[in-house]
A and B are shown apart, each in its own frame.
Chain A
Amino acid sequence: MQLKIALAGNPNAGKTTLFNQLTGARQHVGNYPGITVDQKEGCIIRGEQKITITDLPGTYSMTAYSVEELVARDYLVNERPDVVIDIVDSSNLERNLYLTCQFLELGVPLVIALNMIDVAKDRGIEIKVDQLSRLLNVPVIPIIARSGFGQDDLIEAAILTASQAGPWISREISYGKDLDTTLDTLVTEITENSFMTDTYPPRYTAIKYLENDEQILEKGQENNADLAGSLEQTVASVADHTLKTLDVYPEAVIADQRYGYIKSIIRQGVETHRFDTDRLYTSDKMDKVLTNRLIGPIIMLLILFGLYHLTFNLSELPVAQLESFFGWLGGIVDKTLPDGLIKSMITSGVIDGVGGILGFVPLIMFMFFGIAVLEDSGYLARVAFMMDRVFRIFGLHGSSVMPFIVSGGIAGGCAVPGVMATRTLRSPKERMATLLTVPFMNCGAKLPVLALLIGAFFHENKALYMFLFTMLAWVVALLTAKLLRSTVLRGDPTPFIMELPPYRYPTIRGLLIHTWERTYQYIKKAGTVILGISILLWALMTFPGLDNEKVKNFDQQRQQAITSFSSEVMEEINLKAKPLSEEAGTLSEKLSTINNAEAEATLRYSIAGRIGGAMESVTRFAGFDWRTNIALLGGFAAKEVIVSTLGTAYSMGEVDVGESDSLGQKLKNDSHWNRVVAVAALVFIMFYAPCFITVVCIAKESSWNWAFFSIGFNTFFAFLSAVAIYQIGMFFQLA
């Protein structure tokens, strides 16, 4: 029989770290709360026992206050795992045991994993594991999820607990005389009427009624409206009583009593402190400076600017080397393969297309490494905290910060997980505003475009321009959010409460894993999806070929040029003699001009060329020529394709691939491109329709109407901005 184990616990307690250690999975782990928003499954085999492990989102309670809590609770009551491993942060025992109390009240077979026991030790906290286990009457296993310490014991304890588990029975915790009397009344009514007893233990349902749990109240109404009404009336009268006597609702009394229960356990010698418990740890002292209202934002901007500076400086050499490598590879293919479609596809479609993207791997890798350092150290959560102040002005919620950062707020994320991360927002309107604006961030796919155009046209201050374009993405996203929140998504703001994780030293292993897993995704996408799209776009740029008459015309032009010189001159060119004589040089130049004209005519005649050409009548107002149009169209599928399509479009006019310039150089030398066009193109690419996968994700998370809205609105806004930039720039002759 397959055993089902669920990993549950507070946010940032180390559930996903343990899940990865146990299953060998590579789920994303970060030092900030709310990374896991959905359950994830993995399988392991111990001896002959097959075990399915489910990683649940982090929760503070089992009451329906947020989506994560609903996901976790629904999983527990619907899937009925054989055992729940409650991951408890040892350095914050009291708060973490609050959730444990609720698992005990739900009656699930429980094993406590006392995680980060090393951190607790460093803080002078000693936990008597046996004593805690005896008082709670559940197995407690100390573990260090990061190193794998104690995981075998934990799985053994879980298997044993599962084998001994009976029906779910609520643990009884006293909530004071008033509430206990009411609870008894409610439990009697629930039991007598078998009210939702197939899903929840009677006492648990009663407690949730007292806690005013919306989901349970709703389910109760659907199940038995009369009884639900009667229970609600009983609860209302006790709530009225607690309000009059204690000035609080019953849920506050319940929370207080639960903490009292936990304290009574901890004070029986379970936890001893070597240091003063009131002292502020280094983490808190750092927060005093790093989140300071004046210094904090300045430090944040310096850190982000430093990140760009280092990324560009360190990646410059490897990017140049990779570019030369793909140039060399193109040359080899050009020399080896006979002229024809296969050669054209490999050089223009594969090498220039995919190579153009893979050339940016070092830059992407350094950027991901920097982000991993910020994330693993816990600083990213502080960025969210500081940005909350700004977000409120624009009608967004503090929890919107994480989706923005995940989507590429520090350049290099992805809008798909960003859109999914909006699930942590409770208010539907704030969530929609976040969901529709996160695609404005500079995701990893836009990075190569930014790097290419900034590198080509603003070479002198690459890091500064990268920083400015990232800031621009933020400004536009926030202003759009404000516009949406003031019009179609008008509504009151909801409060922001978030736990900040302590600062931690990132481990080299963790940083390398994070960097590699993201870089690998990038490389994998380049080698699969982007390769496919590149070949498809190459085909669209190649077929139908130029008609015979035009080809003949170019042949005639070539023949005329050759016959106007002696045969020795042509022989000199064929032998590739260096340096060429003056006559040979002139002929070579003439032939190049004819070849380029033929390549351009072929490209223009192709399906993609015709589409790009047809669009030129509109896009010329933004300074985009037909080749750029083809690339921008490709970008609807995936933003990486923009660079690869530009690479293909511009390499198809090449005469000698072996001695070709880099794409950036080609754009710089092209008469259609200049600084103003580059900025207009950058702005358009940053803000136009999200890629296809993001659109599908938006539709899944909201509706197709909103998904189409994001395509239409973003493209319209991006085009207007690009037109404004181009027209103003050209008027003031900034090119």
Chain B
Amino acid sequence: MRRKRGKNSDCCLSDRVRGCFGRRGCAAKNIHSPLRNCRGRVRVCKVNGDRKVCAKMASMGLYPGVEADIICAENNSQCLVKVNGGTISLDPATSENILVTNL
């Protein structure tokens, strides 16, 4: 199982650079983790936050149970998520509110 590292564990520049290219691992399988901390193929488990925003995301295809590909490397800022053939960009706060598991 890969060691989970939070944002604050980026102690040196090499870690940060590695993070920019998606070289950092995600939470282990079956553990819900915010989308912005993950990469690769994931399944959405829960969408938290403002009710309207959740509904808007659902209309764009991002809702609990759906499988998605995180395209951009994890970078602690925005995320690019490929879901149902479309590519959706999410801001840090929104991607923090989406809990996923690795597939």
A residues with CB within 8 A of B: 60-61, 63, 65-66, 91-95, 98-99, 211-212, 247-249, 251-252, 255-256, 259, 278, 280, 283-284, 287-288, 291-294, 385, 388-389, 392, 398, 493, 495-500, 502
Distance in angstroms from A248 CB to nearest chain B CB is 7
Contact between B82 and A280, CB atoms less than 8 A apart: yes
> How would residues 8 to 43 of chain B score, 1 for a CB under 8 Å from any chain A CB and 0 otherwise?
000000000100111000000000000000000100
Q: Which of B78-95 contact A (CB under 8 A)?
A: 78, 80, 82-91, 93-94
Chain A residue at smallest Cβ distance from B88: A499
Given contacts A249-B54, A288-B72, A91 and B85 within 8 Å (CB-CB)? yes
Distance in angstroms from A100 CB to nearest chain B CB is 12
Contacts of B80 in A (CB 8 A): 287, 291, 385, 500
One of B55, B61, B91 near A252 (C-beta < 8 A): B55
Contacts of A61 in B (CB 8 A): 55-56, 59
- With the chains together, A496 CA to B78 CA distance in Å? 9
Contacts of A398 in B (CB 8 A): 89, 91
One of A63, A283, A388, A499 near B91 (C-beta < 8 A): A388
Given contacts A293-B75, A392-B91, A251 and B20 within 8 Å (CB-CB)? no
Contacts of A500 in B (CB 8 A): 80, 87-89
Contacts of B54 in A (CB 8 A): 249, 251-252
Could you show 8 A-B contacts with beta carbons less than 8 Å apart? A92-B86, A255-B63, A259-B63, A284-B69, A385-B78, A388-B91, A495-B91, A497-B91
Given contacts A212-B51, A287-B72, A495-B49, A252 and B90 within 8 Å (CB-CB)? no
Distance in angstroms from A116 CB to nearest chain B CB is 11
Contacts of A94 in B (CB 8 A): 61, 84-85
Most chain A beta carbons < 10 A, residue from B22, B72, B87: B87
One of A65, A92, A249, A388 near B56 (C-beta < 8 A): A65
Contacts of B22 in A (CB 8 A): 288
Distance in angstroms from A263 CB to nearest chain B CB is 10
Given contacts A497-B56, A500-B80, A251 and B51 within 8 Å (CB-CB)? yes
Contact between B89 and A249, CB atoms less than 8 A apart: no
Contact between A388 and B78, CB atoms less than 8 A apart: yes
One of A294, A389, A495 near B17 (C-beta < 8 A): A294
Chain B residue at smallest Cβ distance from A214: B52
Contacts of B64 in A (CB 8 A): 248, 252, 256
- 6 additional A-B pairs beyond A92-B84, A252-B63, A283-B87, beta carbons within 8 Å, are A95-B86, A251-B51, A256-B63, A292-B72, A495-B49, A496-B89
Distance in angstroms from A624 CB to nearest chain B CB is 43
Contact between A95 and B87, CB atoms less than 8 A apart: no
- With the chains together, A259 CA to B52 CA distance in Å? 18
Given contacts A65-B52, A95-B85, A259 and B71 within 8 Å (CB-CB)? no
Contact between B85 and A92, CB atoms less than 8 A apart: yes
- Name the 8 nearest CB pairs between A and B, nearest first: A255-B58, A61-B59, A92-B85, A496-B91, A293-B75, A60-B59, A95-B84, A251-B55
One of A65, A294, A496 near B94 (C-beta < 8 A): A496
Given contacts A251-B54, A280-B82, A294-B20, A497 and B90 within 8 Å (CB-CB)? yes
- With the chains together, A392 CA to B89 CA distance in Å? 14
Contact between B51 and A95, CB atoms less than 8 A apart: no
One of A93, A294, A497, A502 near B89 (C-beta < 8 A): A497
Chain A residue at smallest Cβ distance from B75: A293
Chain B residue at smallest Cβ distance from A247: B46
Contacts of B65 in A (CB 8 A): 256
Contacts of A247 in B (CB 8 A): 46
Chain B residue at smallest Cβ distance from A66: B56
Contacts of B88 in A (CB 8 A): 497-500
Contacts of A60 in B (CB 8 A): 56, 59-60
- With the chains together, A265 CA to B65 CA distance in Å? 18
Contact between A389 and B86, CB atoms less than 8 A apart: no
Contact between A389 and B60, CB atoms less than 8 A apart: no
Contact between B51 and A496, CB atoms less than 8 A apart: no
Distance in angstroms from A33 CB to nearest chain B CB is 10
Most chain B beta carbons < 10 A, residue from A99, A211, A291, A389: A291
One of A99, A259, A280, A389 near B77 (C-beta < 8 A): A389
Contacts of A252 in B (CB 8 A): 47, 54-55, 58, 63-64
Given contacts A247-B46, A278-B69, A497-B53, A287 and B63 within 8 Å (CB-CB)? no
Contacts of A284 in B (CB 8 A): 69, 71, 82, 87
Distance in angstroms from B13 CB to nearest chain A CB is 11
Contact between A98 and B77, CB atoms less than 8 A apart: no
- With the chains together, A92 CA to B49 CA distance in Å? 27
Contact between A249 and B51, CB atoms less than 8 A apart: yes
Contacts of B55 in A (CB 8 A): 61, 63, 65, 211-212, 249, 251-252, 255
- With the chains together, A94 CA to B60 CA distance in Å? 10
- With the chains together, A283 CA to B58 CA distance in Å? 23
Given contacts A94-B84, A293-B73, A388 and B89 within 8 Å (CB-CB)? yes
Chain B residue at smallest Cβ distance from A295: B20
Contacts of B93 in A (CB 8 A): 493, 495
Contact between A293 and B77, CB atoms less than 8 A apart: yes
- With the chains together, A278 CA to B89 CA distance in Å? 19
Distance in angstroms from A369 CB to nearest chain B CB is 26
Chain A residue at smallest Cβ distance from B69: A280
One of A91, A292, A389, A495 near B73 (C-beta < 8 A): A292
Contact between B59 and A497, CB atoms less than 8 A apart: no
Most chain B beta carbons < 10 A, residue from A249, A251, A293, A498: A293
Contact between B90 and A251, CB atoms less than 8 A apart: no
Contacts of A283 in B (CB 8 A): 87
Chain B residue at smallest Cβ distance from A94: B84
Contact between B85 and A293, CB atoms less than 8 A apart: no
Chain B residue at smallest Cβ distance from A500: B87
Contacts of B46 in A (CB 8 A): 247
- With the chains together, A211 CA to B58 CA distance in Å? 12
Distance in angstroms from A3 CB to nearest chain B CB is 30
Given contacts A288-B72, A496-B94, A251 and B89 within 8 Å (CB-CB)? no
Distance in angstroms from A179 CB to nearest chain B CB is 14
- With the chains together, A500 CA to B60 CA distance in Å? 12
Contacts of B86 in A (CB 8 A): 92, 95, 499
